[in-house]
Structure 1
Amino acid sequence: MIPIHDDNPTRAFPYVTVGIIALNFLVFLTEPHFGRGGSLQVAEYFYRWGLVPWEVTHGRQLNLTGCLQACFTNKNVYLALLTSMFVHAGPLHIAGNMLFLWVFGNNIEDTLGPGRYLIFYLLCGVIAGLVHTALNASSVYPTVGASGAIAGVLGAYLVLFPRARVLTIAFFVIVPLPAVLVLGLWFVLQLFTGPSQQIGGGGVAWGAHVAGFIAGAILVLLFGGRGRARERREVPPPPPITPLPPGWGPLGP
């Protein structure tokens, strides 16, 4: 199922969500894809900016034979918990992630506010990365992508807006479905067939998806999301505009 829109209007423009999406695409355009670099350069790029569990658990970067020395000079292996969130493996990878972020992220930003939302987003991504590292402590494959952070957004959306209707492409048909069904099914699928985020056949990063989702569901409550969502729903609409009688201007007849 592919979500394309929801019926959950926002009160303000989602500057942070749009900024995150723009930054991800900007980083993607600088990656050595599309024939601008060979396979070695692509691998080096992912090892340079991706999250490598072995590096985090050992506190030092890998010494990879055949890699350009400049690529692995002074890599901060812990900072990779953040940088890996803005690197993607291909067009479909980034397109899918950014679509989910656009559909669901604006409502979480509107509820929490821009500052809280940015902290929330990054925390979900870091927690997802740490759980993935704990589950794959000896893995030397780089993990990239924003899926862990976006999974946190999905978890928060499910907690705050379970009854919202999401316009979804399902079996080549566009149908409105409740968010609890769309996001609940997404979560269940991650437990069994979650898409791989790893480069070079390192396996499925389902742990990052599941951890991000659960982290988002919990953190949004700790950030006061439920109360803020209630206030958001209770904001009264503006009073209707009463038309002036015929022949009357703004100052009278």
Structure 2
Amino acid sequence: MIPIRDTAPCNIRPWVTWGLMAICIIIFIAMQLTPYELSYRLIYRYGMVPIRYTEPQWAVSFGLPDDYYLSFLTSLFLHGNWWHLAINMVFMWIFADNIEDRMGHGPFLIFYLVCGLCATFLQWYFDPRLAIPVVGASGAIAGVLAAYFFLYPLARVILWVPLFFLPIVVHVPAIAFLGLWVIIQLHDAMTSVMFEGVTVDVAWWAHLGGFVTGTILYRLFIRNEPNEPIEEK
């Protein structure tokens, strides 16, 4: 099931959402145009490699300087491949504008970054010896999804079901779609912990960390008064 759009109205132009998406897309394209060796080094330098902070001697031997945990932030703007980027941007496009509407531009940006930082920290905490970069906006977006889950539970999410390439479209409540998303993240995160040898290529703990952070914090960022609808010219 692929989300296409939602039915919750947005009364502002979500400049921060669009800006964050643009940064992620521009950085990804620039990385694709960069020679492989340089791109590889940049991913390791600015992606969050958990073992880099768990075992500093590993970082020294690998040639990574002390960045004072900067990669916990910079990793939010890097993506591993086109599919990774596309999925994150679709979720950002559908759900983030409404949250920015309710919070305002500045508070939304702070909320987004705090959720992302907490998500990355939780991934490091649960997988401290991982020696590959953790990248992507998924953790921060998970915080946005948490806010949407509580603020727009009955809004309809329009999904495309790719069954034999037929144009099958279904409408489901946001609380059902996002609830299922949370269950999947929790299942896969617990599976990666309980069963040794399971290949993990998704930062499930970052997703859950972002969602939990968003659940706890979103009330602190909501504006008291709703915005007026934008005027189209």
TM-score, normalisation: structure 2: 0.85
Query: What is the aligned partner in structure 2 of residue 184 from structure 1?
Result: 179
Matches within 5 A, 1:190-201: 190-193=185-188
Matches within 5 A, 1:142-153: 142-153=133-144
Q: Larger radius of gyration, structure 1 or 2?
A: 1
| 1:175 is the counterpart of 2:170 | yes
| 1:44 is the counterpart of 2:41 | yes
Matches within 5 A, 1:1-253: 1-31=1-31, 33=32, 36-38=34-36, 40-58=37-55, 62-64=59-61, 72=64, 74=65, 76-172=67-163, 173-193=168-188, 203-223=201-221, 225=222, 228=224, 231-232=225-226
Matched to 2:100, the amino acid is E
Change (3 A) 1:10 1:162: same
Matched to 2:53, the amino acid is V
Question: C-alpha root-mean-square deviation of aligned residues, in Å?
Answer: 2.5
Q: Distance in 1 between matches of 2:178 and 2:57?
A: 37
Task: Point out where structure 2 has 5 or more consecutive residues left out of the alignment.
Answer: 193-198
User: How many residues of Structure 1 are paired with residues of Structure 2 in the alignment?
Assistant: 218
Q: Per the alignment, in what secondary structure is the counterpart of residue 59 of structure 2?
A: coil
Deviation at 1:75, TM superposition (A): 5.0
Q: Per the alignment, in what secondary structure is the counterpart of residue 171 of structure 2?
A: strand
Change (3 A) 1:61 1:14: farther
Matched to 1:96, the amino acid is I
Higher helix content, 1 or 2? 2
Q: Distance in 2 between matches of 1:138 and 1:165?
A: 41
Deviation at 1:202, TM superposition (A): 6.0
Matched to 1:207, the amino acid is W
Change (3 A) 1:76 1:202: farther
Q: Distance in 2 between matches of 1:26 and 1:60?
A: 33
Deviation at 1:203, TM superposition (A): 4.3
Whether the aligned pair in 2 keeps the contact of 1:48 and 1:75 (CA below 8 Å) is no
Give me the identity figure in percent.
41
Whether the aligned pair in 2 keeps the contact of 1:104 and 1:157 (CA below 8 Å) is yes
Q: Per the alignment, in what secondary structure is the counterpart of residue 62 of structure 1?
A: helix
Query: What is the aligned partner in structure 1 of residue 196 from structure 2?
Result: none
CA displacement, residues 218-253 of structure 1 (integer Å, 9 cap, x when unaligned): 110122x3x74xx439x7x8xxxxxxxxxxxxxxxx
Whether the aligned pair in 2 keeps the contact of 1:165 and 1:178 (CA below 8 Å) is yes
**Runs of 4+ displaced beyond 3 Å:** 57-61, 201-204
Deviation at 1:56, TM superposition (A): 2.6
Q: Per the alignment, in what secondary structure is the counterpart of residue 63 of structure 1?
A: helix
Deviation at 1:61, TM superposition (A): 6.9
Q: Distance in 2 between matches of 1:61 and 1:76?
A: 14
Query: What is the aligned partner in structure 1 of residue 195 from structure 2?
Result: none
Task: Point out where structure 1 has 5 or more consecutive residues left out of the alignment.
Answer: 238-253
Whether the aligned pair in 2 keeps the contact of 1:61 and 1:77 (CA below 8 Å) is no
Q: Distance in 1 between matches of 2:4 and 2:153?
A: 17
Deviation at 1:160, TM superposition (A): 0.6
Matched to 1:22, the amino acid is A
